[in-house]
Amino acid sequence: VPFQIDPIIPFQGNEDFTRISPLRRIPVFIDGQVTLGDSTAIGEYLDERYPLPLLFPKMPAARAQARWLEEFADSRMGDVFIWRIFNVAVIRPAVLKQPRDDAAIGETLRDEPPPIMDYLESVAPGDGFACGDLALADIAIAVHFANLRWSRTAADLSPWPKTIAWIDRVERTPALAKLTSLAERAMTVRRAEWRALYGEMGIALSETTYAGQGFRKGPMSV
Amino acid sequence: VPFQIDPIIPFQGNEDFTRISPLRRIPVFIDGQVTLGDSTAIGEYLDERYPLPLLFPKMPAARAQARWLEEFADSRMGDVFIWRIFNVAVIRPAVLKQPRDDAAIGETLRDEPPPIMDYLESVAPGDGFACGDLALADIAIAVHFANLRWSRTAADLSPWPKTIAWIDRVERTPALAKLTSLAERAMTVRRAEWRALYGEMGIALSETTYAGQGFRKGPMSV
């Protein structure tokens, strides 16, 4: 499915950004039919518009489990890995120029990931992916571990080897490996250079942009 | 679709409750195929298993908009109407025996609902429902307003008349009206009498129960 990217920072979009994403979050997906500001709704829509590759399994029970895992990743893992770890370790220091609070990160690491990891270990497949073929659920879960690495904490995940092996398989899939590599390269250059970098990596860029200046939570952000 | 209910309080389930609902939340849906602890996944599954009534519109673009609105209800409205209002006004005083914090409620009411209501007013249909026929999105949004009433606050929603009229239409649909009436009657009796009340109202009850004693957030609750 061909696509163009507009690389922007959530909460930093321009005035029009609030119109396409009421919570001023990313991702936002736009085509001739819809404008969607939620990754789950985007995944479901792509699955209905484009027959292959499947983003959710075909059979209702497996689809339901995949949706549950994806929701678990978005809500529960997002709360811990994005808001309580990555936000404190990376976003606040970089964007809001607040000092990194390693005490808070340490406390969160002690209390929060273990039950999440225990649960993932209970659903982690011994081989392949969580619901058969690679699905959005695997990706939604895996990306939190990239955020954890980028947070440069002392998190020790060795007690959950099935989960580590599963996430490793997901991260090695070509599409996600390409995206992770792009993200890691983007972190090494300034924002003004993102478009050049993306172009260099063969990713099509949108002509218009919703990028804005300065952090603004907007009327309804988290 | 025939069903049986096990009336329990979230976070107060027994030990088995954690197994069927890792976040110890409700609703949980169980049939011979799946055990699902998330309302969105339940709705999607029911839509696939039972052709009618549709819980989501049929056409991809309308389905996508319905999913976005349902997500908006679950995440953004849930954060404000459940966690920051109903939780402070009703749950904490009743369950945790903490005093009701009217100052916090007043501050939340001043800042949080207006942008949410502005957004709902922008998507509220002048007639009928948000995506054509009644859909899960309408119900997911409407139930927050029952929680707001039950919180007994001084919230004034008159600046958003299209939204009020839309929610009123949703609340008058027979299925939701029956459920709201059940909830309001349940509030007037003790928990030990719930099963008798439900039976009296013609609602089938499950033989087994996941009810537990005492508030316990469990390993991964919010």
| Token reading at A174 | 């070509």
A 52-91: CB under 8 A from B: 60-61, 63-65, 67-68, 71-72, 75-76, 79
Q: Which residues pair with A35 in a beta bridge?
A: A30
Mean pLDDT, rounded, for A84-109: 92
Residue A51 has pLDDT above 90, yes or no: no
Cβ atoms of residues B117 and B163 within 8 Å:
yes
- Picking from B206, B116, B133, the residue whose alpha carbon sits closest to that of residue B173 is B133
CA distances in angstroms from A84 to A78, A146, B20, B134, B176, listed in the order given: 9, 15, 26, 37, 37
Mean pLDDT, rounded, for A123-145: 96
Q: Is there a contact between A67 and B40 if contact means CB atoms under 8 Å apart?
A: yes
pLDDT confidence of residue B218? 57
Q: Which residues pair with A13 in a beta bridge?
A: A211
Per the prediction, chain B carries an average pLDDT of 92
How far is Cα A199 from Cα A205, in angstroms, rounded to an integer? 7
A 25-54: CB under 8 A from B: 33-34, 36-38, 40-42, 44-45, 48-49
Q: Is there a contact between A22 and B49 if contact means CB atoms under 8 Å apart?
A: no
pLDDT confidence of residue A219? 56
- For β-strands B35-36 and A35-36, DSSP reports them as unpaired
The model's pLDDT over B60-107, given as tens digits with 9 standing for 90+, comes to: 999 999 999 999 999 999 999 999 999 999 989 988 899 999 999 999
Which member of B22, B33, B115 has the closest CB to residue A220? B115
B59, closest residue in chain A (CA to CA): A48
Write the DSSP string, B108-154: HHHHSHHHHHHHHHHH--SSSBTTBS--HHHHHHHHHHHHHHHTT--
Contacts of B42 in chain A (CB under 8 A): 64
Q: Measured between CA atoms, how close is B128 to chain A, in angstroms? A: 21
> Most confidently modeled of A90-104, A140-154, B86-100?
A140-154
pLDDT confidence of residue B222? 43
Q: Sign of the CA dihedral A84, A89, A91, A96? A: positive
For tokens 């959710």, the residue is A56
A67, closest residue in chain B (CA to CA): B41
The model's pLDDT over B13-48, given as tens digits with 9 standing for 90+, comes to: 888 998 899 888 999 999 999 999 999 999 999 999
Mean pLDDT, rounded, for A145-167: 97
Per the prediction, chain A carries an average pLDDT of 92
Q: Is there a contact between A67 and B38 if contact means CB atoms under 8 Å apart?
A: yes
Q: Is there a contact between B67 and A41 if contact means CB atoms under 8 Å apart?
A: yes
Which member of B34, B42, B219 has the closest CB to residue A65? B34
User: Which residues, including other chains, have CB under 8 Å from residue A211's CB and lie 6 or more apart?
Assistant: A6, A7, A8, A9, A12, A13, A14
Mean pLDDT, rounded, for B150-159: 95
Which member of B22, B38, B115 has the closest CB to residue A219? B115
B218, closest residue in chain A (CA to CA): A115
The model's pLDDT over B185-206, given as tens digits with 9 standing for 90+, comes to: 998 999 889 999 999 999 999 9
Mean pLDDT, rounded, for A8-16: 86
Q: Is there a contact between A40 and B116 if contact means CB atoms under 8 Å apart?
A: no
Among A60-74, A140-154, B3-17, B126-140, which is the least confidently predicted range? B3-17
CA atoms within 13 A on the CB side of A218: 23
- Picking from B164, B85, B169, the residue whose alpha carbon sits closest to that of residue B121 is B164
Residue A221 has pLDDT above 60, yes or no: no
pLDDT confidence of residue B58? 92
For tokens 């139930």, the residue is B143
Rg (CA), chain A: 18
pLDDT confidence of residue A94? 86
User: Which residues, including other chains, have CB under 8 Å from residue A175's CB and lie 6 or more apart?
Assistant: none
The share of chain A scoring above pLDDT 70, in percent, equals 96
How far is Cα A96 from Cα B7, in angstroms, rounded to an integer? 46
Q: Which residues pair with B132 in a beta bridge?
A: B129
B33, closest residue in chain A (CA to CA): A61
CA atoms within 13 A on the CB side of A177: 6
